[in-house]
Structures are given as structure tokens and as C-alpha cells.
């Protein structure tokens, strides 16, 4: 009966371990403000944004969201970009990223973009009439309709993802511990758990190698003036996930191997009983021994 429940808990671990590991890695390794802030700095995101062709921005916004969403010309955008330093843009992005995540954690559905720092940066660098006119047309807070709908859908999954990212690893850990405890004999315990960990570890390492070589990041993603930047971001995400999985696969493989190695030095109960109580062989009487003959009556 103990073996039955041990196998049952082990099946629970095998089924839910990949899902819980993926959700945990996604939540704690990729979907964090720190990861995106560091990634954007590494790929020179802010310098490349300020060097974008302003006409392409206008054409894209008109095509996707209509002219009402952006009431300024390409020339004005070009002038604004020339006044915005990468440091000002970085400050604005990181501030809005923190505000959006904070709003999502509170269950708010609107995710406006705060542009006050950008406007202040432009005003400090130029005070001519054209710049004042430009600043009057830039709102303090901008909420793009399409982007906001996408953000709502994305952030609506955060509470569920947060629960899964914590509950999943706890559940599979309990399943593995119970399976280990219920299986009889230390030798069997170590080999049972070691086999599962070894199989998962080797599988992760092989899959990591295959994905790193065959899964390519697409070149065309959104628009030609953003595709190069987005490709670098997706490449950074892919590299981060593969690196995390590599270390996890390596740890699982080593742990499983060590469990199996230890099991070879553990003797089974039957062998221990044999050593404690060695079998006794019946003594045979030699034919040459003197046999006492009975006396004649």
C-alpha cells in the first residue's frame, strides 16, 4: 500500500513539475522590472529609440490607431527626439514600468504613460516658440488604446501566474518528499527519486541545447523601425531562460547521479540480516569416524 501511494505522489511530481518550473522561471527570472531595466541598458535601447526616423513613427501610429491618437507631425517628433537625451528617456521608461506594475498589483485596469519628465527635459533645452507649441500639444499622460488593451490582457494574468509560480513548486516538492518517505528502504528511496531527477535533468540539458541552436528569434515582429530593437530584447529573454534552465538541469542531473551513487553504498535489509546471522550448514559424519556399535543383548 505504501508503494502505491509513493508512486501516486511521484506521478503528481512528474506531471506538474514542468509547468511549475516554467511558471517559476518566467515569473522570477524574466517578468521582473530588474531584468528589463538591465536588458535595455545592455542593448542601448534608449539611444536607439532617440535615433528612430520620426516619419515612420507617425505612419505607424496613424495606421494602427488613427490620427486622433497622435496630433503632432513627424517634424515635431524629430525636434522632440533631438531634445530628449537617452538618460531622460531611461528615467521615464523605468518610472512608468514601476508605476504600471504597481497599478497591476492593485488590480487597476488603466496603464497611462507619464510624460512629464520628457516635457521638462525638452523645456530645459529649448524655449523658442516652436518648442513651446510642441510642448502644449504633448499631454502629461498618454494612454494608447491598443497598447492599453494588450496591457490589460497581460496584467489580468499576473495574479494567476503569481499563485502558480509559488504554489506549483511547493506542490511538486511535497509530492516528491512524500514519494521519497513512503517508498520502503533507503536504497529504494534514493534510486527512485534519483532516477526521476536524473531523467528530468538530462532531458532539460538536451532540450536546452536543441532550442539554443534551432529556435531563432524572428526578424519581422512589429514594424521595421522597431524590429531590430525588439529582436535584441527577445534574444535577451531567450538567453536568460536558456541559462536558467541550463543551471537547473545541471543541478537536477548532479543530484540524481549523487543519489544513485549513494545508493550503491547502502546495503539492503536482507543482506544485513545475512551478515548478522550467517547460514549454518549441517555437520556431516565422515565414514572414517568410529561408530559405536550397540552391544549384543
- Tens-digit pLDDT profile for residues 49-108: 888 888 887 777 777 665 555 566 777 777 767 777 888 888 888 888 887 776 665 655
- Residue identified by cell 516635457 is 119
Cα–chain-centroid distance for residue 18? 11
Tell me the C-alpha distance between 140 and 82, whole Å.
19
pLDDT at residue 297 is higher than 50: no
pTM score over 0.85: no
| pLDDT of the residue at 294 | 53
Handedness of CA 23, 27, 31, 37 (dihedral sign): negative
Tell me the C-alpha distance between 286 and 86, whole Å.
104
**Nearest residue to 262 via CA among 193, 190, 201, 202:** 190
- Tens-digit pLDDT profile for residues 148-178: 455 555 555 556 666 667 888 899 999 999 9
Amino acid at each position: 500500500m505504501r508503494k502505491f501511494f509513493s508512486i501516486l505522489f511521484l506521478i503528481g511530481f512528474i506531471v506538474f513539475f514542468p509547468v511549475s518550473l516554467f511558471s517559476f522561471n518566467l515569473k522570477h527570472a524574466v517578468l521582473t522590472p530588474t531584468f528589463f531595466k538591465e536588458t535595455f541598458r545592455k542593448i542601448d535601447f534608449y539611444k536607439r529609440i532617440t535615433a528612430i526616423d520620426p516619419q515612420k513613427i507617425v505612419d505607424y501610429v496613424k495606421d494602427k490607431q488613427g490620427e486622433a491618437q497622435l496630433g503632432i507631425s513627424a517634424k515635431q517628433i524629430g525636434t522632440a527626439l533631438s531634445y530628449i537625451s537617452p538618460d531622460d528617456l531611461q528615467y521615464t521608461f523605468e518610472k512608468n514600468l514601476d508605476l504600471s506594475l504597481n497599478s497591476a498589483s492593485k488590480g487597476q485596469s488603466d496603464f497611462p504613460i507619464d510624460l512629464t519628465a520628457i516635457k521638462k527635459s525638452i523645456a530645459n533645452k529649448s524655449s523658442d516658440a516652436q518648442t513651446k507649441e510642441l510642448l502644449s500639444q504633448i499631454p502629461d499622460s498618454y494612454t494608447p488604446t491598443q497598447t492599453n488593451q494588450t496591457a490589460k490582457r497581460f496584467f489580468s494574468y499576473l495574479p494567476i501566474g503569481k499563485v502558480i509560480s509559488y504554489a506549483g513548486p511547493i506542490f511538486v516538492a511535497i509530492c516528491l518528499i512524500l514519494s521519497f518517505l513512503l517508498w520502503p528502504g533507503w536504497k529504494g528511496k534514493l534510486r527512485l527519486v534519483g532516477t526521476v531527477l536524473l531523467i528530468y535533468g538530462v532531458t532539460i540539458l538536451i532540450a536546452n541545447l536543441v532550442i539554443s541552436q534551432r529556435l531563432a528569434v524572428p526578424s519581422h515582429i512589429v514594424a521595421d523601425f522597431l524590429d531590430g530593437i525588439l529582436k535584441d530584447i527577445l534574444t535577451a529573454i531567450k538567453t536568460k531562460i536558456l541559462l536558467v534552465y541550463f543551471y537547473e538541469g545541471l543541478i537536477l542531473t548532479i543530484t540524481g547521479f549523487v543519489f544513485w551513487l549513494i545508493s550503491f553504498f547502502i546495503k539492503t535489509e536482507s543482506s544485513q540480516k545475512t551478515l548478522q546471522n550467517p547460514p549454518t550448514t549441517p555437520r556431516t559424519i565422515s565414514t572414517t569416524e568410529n561408530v559405536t556399535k550397540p552391544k549384543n543383548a
